């Protein structure tokens, strides 16, 4: 009910896009649990996706579409340190698991017309997590061939604020990935 009120309010104010973290372990009441106390994964992060949790995400995406709202969908916010997102989980998760999580997401949402994928999320290049994000992106794109995908780079490097506000998506890749 709260999501419906929020989406109707955004629509009435002329908003046509909102940023949504598909999973979040920081900015909610009982992270990573949703309002209904459901966890996104019945196992290690990025594995054994919980159907009850993901049906709530499905519902939100469909309701946003009904309100003419695009979802800027972050698979799991990285964060610039181990306290501000899934950075540690990304680093400790295998390339194969992240690719499989990407395939799960790409397959699940490839037919929803109102999604733009947003990878990263304050991901500091110094953390060396970018190869894992490539696996996630390639997993998504292996199933979802139509949605745009972008990357939120970081305003920090090695824990310090970067002059001028940080790096752009294109600043942090030696050669822009094909999915970007």
Distance set, CA 12 to CA 66, 68, 110 (Å): 13, 11, 27
Structure tokens at 160: 């310090």
Name residues whose C-beta falls within 8 Å of residue 83's C-beta, 6 or more positions apart in sequence.
none
pTM: 0.93
For the cut 90, the answer to whether the pLDDT of residue 42 exceeds it is yes
Exposed, middle or buried, 178 (CB in 10 Å: 0-12/13-18/19+)?
exposed
pLDDT at residue 29, rounded to an integer:
81
pLDDT at residue 99, rounded to an integer:
98
Structure tokens at 60: 């939100």
Condensed to tens digits (0 to 9), the pLDDT of residues 21-41 reads: 999 888 878 889 999 999 999
**Mean pLDDT across 62-91:** 92
pLDDT at residue 103, rounded to an integer:
98
Distance set, CA 153 to CA 47, 80, 170 (Å): 25, 10, 9
Going by pLDDT thresholds of 50, 70 and 90, the confidence category of residue 102 is very high
pLDDT at residue 170, rounded to an integer:
76
pLDDT at residue 126, rounded to an integer:
78
**Mean pLDDT across 119-132:** 86
For the cut 90, the answer to whether the pLDDT of residue 92 exceeds it is yes
For the cut 80, the answer to whether the pLDDT of residue 86 exceeds it is yes
Spatial CA neighbour of 24 closest among 86, 104, 81, 94: 86
**Mean pLDDT across 93-117:** 98
DSSP state at residue 158: T
State the average pLDDT for the chain.
91
Name residues whose C-beta falls within 8 Å of residue 11's C-beta, 6 or more positions apart in sequence.
67, 68, 69
């Amino acid at each position: 009910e709260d999501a419906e009120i929020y989406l109707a309010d955004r629509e009435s104010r002329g908003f046509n896009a909102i940023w949504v973290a598909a999973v979040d372990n920081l900015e909610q009441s009982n992270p990573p649990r949703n309002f209904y106390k459901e966890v996104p994964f019945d196992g290690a992060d990025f594995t054994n996706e919980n159907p009850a949790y993901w049906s709530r995400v499905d519902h939100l995406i469909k309701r946003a579409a009904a309100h003419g709202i695009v979802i800027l969908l972050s698979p799991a916010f990285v964060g610039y340190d181990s306290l501000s997102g899934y950075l540690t989980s990304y680093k400790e998760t295998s390339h194969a698991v992240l690719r499989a999580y990407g395939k799960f997401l790409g397959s699940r949402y490839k037919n929803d017309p109102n999604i733009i994928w947003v990878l990263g999320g304050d991901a500091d290049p110094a953390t060396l997590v970018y190869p894992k994000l490539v696996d996630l992106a390639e997993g998504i794109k292996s199933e979802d061939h139509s949605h745009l995908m972008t990357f939120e780079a970081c305003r920090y490097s090695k824990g310090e604020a970067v002059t001028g506000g940080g790096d752009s998506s294109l600043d942090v890749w030696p050669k822009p990935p094909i999915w970007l």
